[in-house]
Structure 1
């Protein structure tokens, strides 16, 4: 083997190692992840081959023992590269390597099954042209910057795919696709179970709560504390069921019933609810800094905003201040609930929208929280292409902001006098 050809082989080995390592890390197949030592060995080999090439050019002489060692090392790495390529080709996840122009350089067998690609005719073609008419077309045309979840497979519509596009090498990209059909079926089973159980629990809880209301603590004073606690807990269980049903409705991805949402009466209602829940224990202020309205679901937006307001009342000590703010921003508009409550440690902020997640379980029980309110807020805002932003500092209160894009803003309806 000539030195230039040997160097090319070593470079190919290193390129294959990098590609295989990236595939292993991205797809989660630990079988493909080479050790760092192998990568370093390949790099050292390339440097040594380069030095050997310089020596050959100068002296035209290669020691036999040194050449044999390099040849054996090259063969060993070539065998590893072949195994890696075979493993990549056998992956159940689709993997497509694109050049800087978006042309297909390489794809594995799963790409043929899931994406409908064919070899050798699709090699060298533009991926966006090849899949423009498929379910992936709009995603590719938009730049494929964000992962795509739960989309029908172009070649097998019954399958559901999760897609991601990532930069690779020098102006190259790697597209990965995973069959998530089983995960989606399990998720649907979970959603159906929660919805059915919640619906079935609603009636008996209503009956229990009704009978508890008929009991008069004055008839049996010794049972008054027990009856009061039973009423509180039955109301809390009823609220949990209602929140679960709301989440189930939001997760079914039913079309959003959109209409003109007049913000002024909605904000006034939220303030009244806060005053009723506070019982005069807090200073509650409403600041309307814009008369802009929204386009969306009145019911869902009221539910989301109401959860933020009720949380502020529950977790703010007596004589604390709660401020509701509706204002315009450079990006659109923002509804904010500020409070001077206990505050939340930074390590909890990322998990606040998880179901039943609690910063303090004992405090949540004392205040009657269900642990589902912020999950509802997140789902409602997602359906309105909006975002929830949370700022908090222990001992200094919290600030929850619902940020809406300009496409959701409407001019207020003016009623003629």
Structure 2
């Protein structure tokens, strides 16, 4: 008589342990969220096992006539152990601080945890089987779901808590199913606002004493105290640099709290000419500076902010390009809009630094930045100005070759010089 196949349930504890370990590792590399990674993997294992049981892809208990009482008892013990593991995994997923909603191929809600009740306003059991888009029809998530939820949604008002903000994303899962994940970021937003207020207040308070110090230093004639001439020169340079840092911090604080701009026509011909003159003045003949303008388009935006951003890129190129190098400023068309770029033959930037260049005070070489007079805030200001103009900053660089900083503006921001909207 053929012996029944040995059940494969005994392999499940090891498999579950391996999966949970993988979840912990992924959670750690995703920002130190070990508990979240473990809980998400636990949820995935629960759903996967239940799905397999539903479709009878796991080995079923052999017929009583074909097994001995001892085999039957062992199998029942393993079954009870597996059921207990499934309950533990389900409970772990239910206690996640992030909202988790499992939806099927037709977008019906299949399962959600307790956090989804608090943050998304879901209710059990009445919301099980309901269309997610229908349930979220009157919330900030409605348009995002209607458009396919392709990209994560940031700073969305929580349907279940009007005073909370969410970061929401949709992940593919299982057999044409999806997981909606929502994280409460209200506390992060509050901390960020506290940081912005602190920086703005400190910068404002430093402006007056620095102005006074710099003014008194200017009144001292080095010829009256020749032995202190080098000291006075260094003090003047450093007080001027500190004043520039304060001004840049105030500018950055304003840009961070600004959500829209008063659009005006920005004549690019005159702006490019101004940027070129500023570059020549800063270079003092040490570089070959070229201007290529073929776009024949003006911009719609803030003249002051755009001048700050575009001139910042040029001054950076002058500061970090050795004498004898060349700098090229370009304003040209591209598919879907126009691009302003600054290319140099400077030191170049290793690829490992490119992603962090727009962070406040991030420096590749601190000594080189200080010697050049940079504040470490220029590229952060550029990024925020471009965000307000729905534009993007792209950086290409290689050590020993040079760098290109390009600002890509969409077609909606372009105007015909001296005429109407370019579109």
Smaller-chain TM-score range?
0.7 to 0.9
Q: Distance in 1 between matches of 2:110 and 2:393?
A: 40
Q: Secondary structure at the match of 2:407?
A: strand
Q: Distance in 1 between matches of 2:331 and 2:241?
A: 30
Give the equivalent residue in structure 1 for 2:417. 412
Q: Secondary structure at the match of 1:159?
A: strand
* Contact kept? 1:20, 1:88, Cα under 8 Å: no
RMSD (CA atoms)? 3.4
Alignment of 1:127-142 (within 5 A): 127-142=132-147
1:81-105, Cα deviation, whole Å (9 max, x unpaired): 1011112222222111111121111
Give the equivalent residue in structure 1 for 2:200. 195
Q: Distance in 1 between matches of 2:366 and 2:149?
A: 41
Indicate how the Cα distance of structure 1 residues 414 and 92 shifts in structure 2: closer, same or farther if over 3 A, else same: closer
Give the equivalent residue in structure 2 for 1:341. 346
Structure 1 position 327, deviation (Å): 0.7
**Aligned pair partner of 2:319 in 278, 295, 314:** 314
Q: Which moved more, 1:195-204 or 1:173-182?
A: 173-182
Indicate how the Cα distance of structure 1 residues 31 and 340 shifts in structure 2: closer, same or farther if over 3 A, else same: closer
Alignment of 1:343-382 (within 5 A): 343-382=348-387
Q: Distance in 1 between matches of 2:85 and 2:60?
A: 24
Q: Distance in 2 between matches of 1:292 and 1:334?
A: 11
Q: Distance in 1 between matches of 2:413 and 2:177?
A: 36
* Contact kept? 1:7, 1:50, Cα under 8 Å: no
Q: Secondary structure at the match of 2:162?
A: coil
Q: Which moved more, 1:162-171 or 1:273-282?
A: 162-171
Give the equivalent residue in structure 2 for 1:61. 66
* Residue segments in structure 2 that go unaligned for 5+ positions in a row: none
Q: Which moved more, 1:109-118 or 1:350-359?
A: 109-118
Give the equivalent residue in structure 1 for 2:88. 83
Give the equivalent residue in structure 2 for 1:238. 243
**Aligned pair partner of 2:176 in 154, 162, 171:** 171
Q: Secondary structure at the match of 2:208?
A: helix
Q: Are 1:151 and 2:156 matched, yes or no?
A: yes
Structure 1 position 181, deviation (Å): 1.6
TM-score, with structure 2 as normaliser: 0.86
Q: Distance in 2 between matches of 1:28 and 1:101?
A: 31
Give the equivalent residue in structure 2 for 1:330. 335
Indicate how the Cα distance of structure 1 residues 132 and 18 shifts in structure 2: closer, same or farther if over 3 A, else same: farther
Give the equivalent residue in structure 2 for 1:266. 271
Residue-pair matches, total: 402
1:356-409, Cα deviation, whole Å (9 max, x unpaired): 111011101110111111111111112222111111111111011111122222
* Contact kept? 2:36, 2:96, Cα under 8 Å: no
Q: Secondary structure at the match of 1:117?
A: coil
Give the equivalent residue in structure 2 for 1:253. 258
* Residue segments in structure 1 that go unaligned for 5+ positions in a row: none
* Contact kept? 2:102, 2:111, Cα under 8 Å: yes
Q: Secondary structure at the match of 1:123?
A: coil
Structure 1 position 324, deviation (Å): 0.3
Q: Secondary structure at the match of 2:66?
A: coil
Indicate how the Cα distance of structure 1 residues 111 and 410 shifts in structure 2: closer, same or farther if over 3 A, else same: same
* Contact kept? 1:32, 1:87, Cα under 8 Å: no
Q: Distance in 2 between matches of 1:66 and 1:83?
A: 26
Give the equivalent residue in structure 2 for 1:108. 113
Indicate how the Cα distance of structure 1 residues 133 and 18 shifts in structure 2: closer, same or farther if over 3 A, else same: farther
Indicate how the Cα distance of structure 1 residues 67 and 383 shifts in structure 2: closer, same or farther if over 3 A, else same: farther
* Contact kept? 1:113, 1:155, Cα under 8 Å: yes
Q: Distance in 1 between matches of 2:358 and 2:68?
A: 67
Q: Which moved more, 1:194-203 or 1:65-74?
A: 65-74
* Contact kept? 2:390, 2:410, Cα under 8 Å: yes
Q: Distance in 1 between matches of 2:196 and 2:239?
A: 24
Structure 1 position 250, deviation (Å): 1.0
Q: Secondary structure at the match of 1:317?
A: coil
